[in-house]
Structure 1
Amino acid sequence: MGVLFDECADRRDSPRVHLDRPFDIAPQGGTCYEAPDLAVLVRQAAGWLAAAGAGRGDRVAIVKENHWDYDLLACAAIRLGAVPAQLSAQLPPDSVELLLKRLEPAVLVSTSAVLGAAGAQGTDLVAFARSTVVLDGDDPGAAVPGTASLSELHGQDAPAPRRRDGDAPLVINHTSGTTGVPKLVVHSARTIVGELARFEAMPLPKIGVGRDDTVLNANSFAHGRTFCWTGVVMSMAPRELVVLGDQDPDRADPLLRAHPPTIVEALPSTYVRFRPLTDRLDNPFRRTRLFISTYDAVHPPTIRAYLGATARRGPVWMQGWGQTETGPLTFRFHTRRSLHDSPGCGKTRDVGRPVPFKTRLRVVDPDTFEPVRRGRPGLVLARTAARCQDYAGESGRWAAKRHGDWWNTGDIGMRTRTGSVLLLDREVDRVPELSCLETEDVLEDRLPVAQECVVLGRPDAPPLPVVVTVDGRLSGAAWRRATRGLPPMQEPVALTWDRVPRTGTGKVRRLELLEQLTGSTDTAGSGRWT
């Protein structure tokens, strides 16, 4: 990964890259790049990091606004032999502080806005690294005491690329953090490149990246999924890449219409927010043949909207289920026909079969860890060569989730008669009376006004449903129709999108939302494997 862009620059078929805004590491560089330009940026960044004190084996923490240059900075650190740790700026400052304490980075890369927002809440992030680089520190009024700006580091040539053992730590990414402070997941070149990226780069029919494709990624670029994607998509060399860091559909629309994608990968929350674009006359998804979703399931009404928006014959929605610690574990495909007239059937909770030749799954009793029969719910364990090496600063927590060669996902699910996996809930969120996740599917199918539905389990009361709407309103009649035949729940709470606490990947912070609404974080699950 340290020389990825150099190698792509030597090829004549590398993609042209279109950005929704300039990189934070090159604010004057514009929004259109070729591979040689990106290679120059990575080499320059490696020089900055070396001048700031990063060297072989050091950790480089990156906390900044969402953009693809997270991965360019990671590649620059890897070029030096250092280990990048990509942390989302959407994490609460106290969480970032704790993660930095666990990392003990030699260099912190950030921006004045991120450092200022943390300082306003009493957290001095600069204190947790030997040196700090502020990407916008050259702007008037953006200087931060005790930090270095890019102009102060400019001019040092990047050292020659430094190789490392394939099992040495390569990159650190954190989990989503829906239930508290996220874990710091350590991957090696063998696990994240050799096992994950190399498999994904296989030229598979229907779902592979072709030379004529325009690939869109609208993601959280602090997470391990995009680090892996960067290696894959640059090596596959489609015609164009379109990169969106902003989640506002109106700002994204002009770029998408100028470069209509044939392959789309986005956060589940981004698909929800961009859904109104599918109704426009010149909708930007008219050429899309493949939609990809990871992190979390997307509810059926949203999938139908996108598959119905494209003019391509036989478009496919590929849904992957996995974790930062393991990479993809299962996948399945949805088509217009498979989702036709299927309200409330939980089709998106059926996450498919294990990845062939790569993963094995078993479902066990949460108390005894003995296997359960197919069709019975239990704790899902996974076996994969792509499993992460450790949790940085929490090795004991990592060891507690390892059972020999098996990894405890912390998810409750069941194997169906066909061998696929039906997810029911996270163990910490489960309630005896119903599957929160499947109930959310049913509610979204029955409530056209809902942007999102969240069902929160409680230990001493019926589940608490939260319905996200554009204006934060929900009629009682609509709710009564939607819940006909469902298990008892409390009266719903209607909120607007911005009032729901979320992770950097757009997932709902369920415990924080539960505390916000009830004053308690108690759940029916044990939370032992979060």
Structure 2
Amino acid sequence: MRTKGLRGELAADTAIGAGNVLDRVLAHGADPHGPGLTFDTCVDGYPAERPLTLGQLDERVAARAAWLHERGIGRRDPVAVWATSAADMVLSFLALTRLGAIPALMNGRLRPEIAAEYIRRLRAVGVLADAAHTEALAGHDPGAPLLGQPAEAGTGDPATAPAPYRHHDEDPVVITHTSGTTGVPKAVLHSHASLFAATRHLLSMPQAQGTRRILNALPAPHTATVLMVNQALGNRAEMLLLSEQSGQRVLDAIQRWRPDGVFGFSVTWAELARFDLTGYDLDSVRLWFNTGDASHEPHVRRLVAVGSRDVVTRDGVTRVPGSVFIDGLGSSEMGHSMFHITHTTETNRYGRCVGRPYRFTRVAVLDPDGTELSPGQVGWLGIESPSLFRGYWNDSVTTHRSRLRGWYLTGDLVYADDEGRYYHLDRAVDSVDAGNGKRFYTALSEERILAACPDVTDCTVVMVAGGDGVVTDVLLELAAGADPDTDRTDAVRAALGDDVGATLRRVVPVRADDIPVTVTGKVRKVALRERYLTESPS
């Protein structure tokens, strides 16, 4: 089934891509008084959370494009953007791509020395940094001049902005970065066509419930936010973008703004699971959409128990209690989640199942030589998709190392069942070769512990292989009111199973702040392995 109207026209438009969605939506006759975007901070005199119409959004983007053009920024110029607010990130992206430049969006939580080195490696022609990050760069040499603050660019005259750049499919349109689990993050390049491939597919399909009024709780500098902004513009949907994604901030925004869909990463759902959600008004939410790391079963179950959704019955469409959670597996490099599985209160397929691939992609489970494995066999996840990134900016070595026999290797270990569903077991670097053909998985172990221990809201499993075999430590984040002195060792060992349970060294209650995380909230298991390898049991 193909959609008609504006969404269908956009899906069929060969000129549209990730770098010009705003311009093409207007060119196809979208109402300038219709929805643009809403930000949680003020924008050029517009107060926080006041919606910008499509026409106002275009004007604010044109003002920034004019300001940047006056400073010599043009096509193919990489410009680093380091800021905190979603408005600074998204408006800078839209303005720079309007000029044919290449925005390099940077997470505001990067350490200054890492940020400076990252910008140097970009060989950027300039840097846009807000006041806090301009100060943070003082004393560091990013190898590029500071152009000013992103909000300053809003003082440009939109009437003097050059005509929008005409993109080619392979034109670079954005550089985002990985989480940086081991140091300087990798710079991920997407093209005009690659970052729109998934959006084009979705626009050609009927619009899903929960995508008309969206709360974006994804990190603003991430590839996922660029994707969701373009999807919202193409769907003519309302979208509020949050600059900070803590659980309390998200819950407050849901109650205040009443979205029908909330988009985020698994770390946000884990934070929400720490709250008693029945104490919040979440009835407006029909859809929770997860991308990045796959989510854990107990977190999903808590979310689908609240909100409401539409179902088709003999009496027509009926609103029923309980929302929908769409899970999957994605990354900056993939350009969009590659898999999807839908959960409601009535579904029961968990166990790290990430579902089936989207129709625009091909996936395979591979052995180390790139040979495809049969269902049930665990191997490396290989992806082939038009949505894939175009390489790591200024790093051909790492780009080519990520390819094997035509497949992009994601670094994940998975298996498929006989019905074409895929199951994510772990990141390869976090798993452990236990010898004798056995491999142990941290993510799968965490899933099992959370499912077995209802007074645990989150957990981290650390496995280290040494001369005496594998040693496993389990770090538990307890629910409010849970007794930290309770010995949960037997319950955890039983959840892990005989093989992994035999390696268990200790079970330690921790606070969320005790766990080292990346700028996007992923647990830095490499740092934990280094820490727990050298520590003796307490």
Query: Per the shorter chain, which TM-score range?
Result: 0.7 to 0.9
Matched residue type, 1:177: G
Distance verdict in 2 for CA 1:155–1:413, change over 3 Å: closer
Please name the residue that 2:314 is paired with.
none
Out of 22, 30, 46, the residue aligned to residue 5 of structure 1 is 22
Supply the distance in 2 between the matched residues of 1:492 and 1:266 (Cα, whole angstroms).
29
1:467 equivalenced with 2:470 (yes/no):
no
Please name the residue that 1:482 is paired with.
492
1:395 equivalenced with 2:413 (yes/no):
no
Instruction: State, as a whole percentage, how many aligned pairs show the same letter.
Output: 26
Distance verdict in 2 for CA 1:230–1:426, change over 3 Å: same
Distance verdict in 2 for CA 1:519–1:169, change over 3 Å: farther
Deviation of the 1:46 alpha carbon: 1.1
Distance verdict in 2 for CA 1:44–1:514, change over 3 Å: farther
Please name the residue that 1:444 is paired with.
450
SS at 2:91 equivalent: helix
Distance verdict in 2 for CA 1:175–1:128, change over 3 Å: same
Please name the residue that 2:522 is paired with.
507
Distance verdict in 2 for CA 1:189–1:3, change over 3 Å: closer
Matched residue type, 1:20: D
Pick which of 288-297 and 369-378 moved more.
369-378
Please name the residue that 1:306 is paired with.
303
Please name the residue that 1:134 is paired with.
149
Supply the distance in 2 between the matched residues of 1:495 and 1:406 (Cα, whole angstroms).
39
SS at 1:454 equivalent: strand
Distance verdict in 2 for CA 1:150–1:409, change over 3 Å: closer
Pick which of 509-518 and 399-408 moved more.
509-518
Please name the residue that 1:90 is paired with.
109
Please name the residue that 1:295 is paired with.
292
Please name the residue that 1:523 is paired with.
none
1:47 equivalenced with 2:66 (yes/no):
yes
1:31 equivalenced with 2:49 (yes/no):
yes
TM-score, scaled relative to structure 2? 0.83
Distance verdict in 2 for CA 1:66–1:494, change over 3 Å: farther
Distance verdict in 2 for CA 1:253–1:21, change over 3 Å: farther
Question: Which sections of structure 2, spanning at least 5 residues, go unmatched?
Answer: 1-17, 310-319
CA-based RMSD of the aligned residues comes to 2.8
Superposed CA offset, 1:141-188 (max 9, x none): xxxxxxxx6599778932221113211211111122334432111111
Please name the residue that 1:380 is paired with.
381
Distance verdict in 2 for CA 1:48–1:468, change over 3 Å: farther
More strand by share: 2
TM-score, scaled relative to structure 1? 0.84
Please name the residue that 1:203 is paired with.
205
Out of 266, 269, 276, the residue aligned to residue 268 of structure 1 is 266
SS at 1:410 equivalent: strand
Out of 510, 514, 517, the residue aligned to residue 495 of structure 1 is 510
Please name the residue that 2:90 is paired with.
71
SS at 1:160 equivalent: coil
Deviation of the 1:199 alpha carbon: 1.4
In the alignment of these two chains, the number of paired residues is 488
Determine if contact 1:318/1:331 at 8 Å carries over to the other structure: yes
SS at 1:321 equivalent: coil
Please name the residue that 2:14 is paired with.
none
Deviation of the 1:426 alpha carbon: 1.1
Distance verdict in 2 for CA 1:11–1:428, change over 3 Å: same
1:153-172 paired onto structure 2 within 5 Å: 157-172=160-175
1:324 equivalenced with 2:332 (yes/no):
yes
Please name the residue that 2:4 is paired with.
none
Supply the distance in 2 between the matched residues of 1:456 and 1:518 (Cα, whole angstroms).
9
Distance verdict in 2 for CA 1:66–1:483, change over 3 Å: farther
SS at 1:468 equivalent: strand
Supply the distance in 2 between the matched residues of 1:28 and 1:262 (Cα, whole angstroms).
24
Please name the residue that 1:243 is paired with.
241
Distance verdict in 2 for CA 1:377–1:69, change over 3 Å: same
Determine if contact 1:383/1:406 at 8 Å carries over to the other structure: yes
Supply the distance in 1 between the matched residues of 2:96 and 2:36 (Cα, whole angstroms).
24
SS at 1:459 equivalent: strand
Supply the distance in 2 between the matched residues of 1:507 and 1:292 (Cα, whole angstroms).
18
Determine if contact 1:430/1:436 at 8 Å carries over to the other structure: yes
Matched residue type, 1:317: F
Please name the residue that 1:145 is paired with.
none
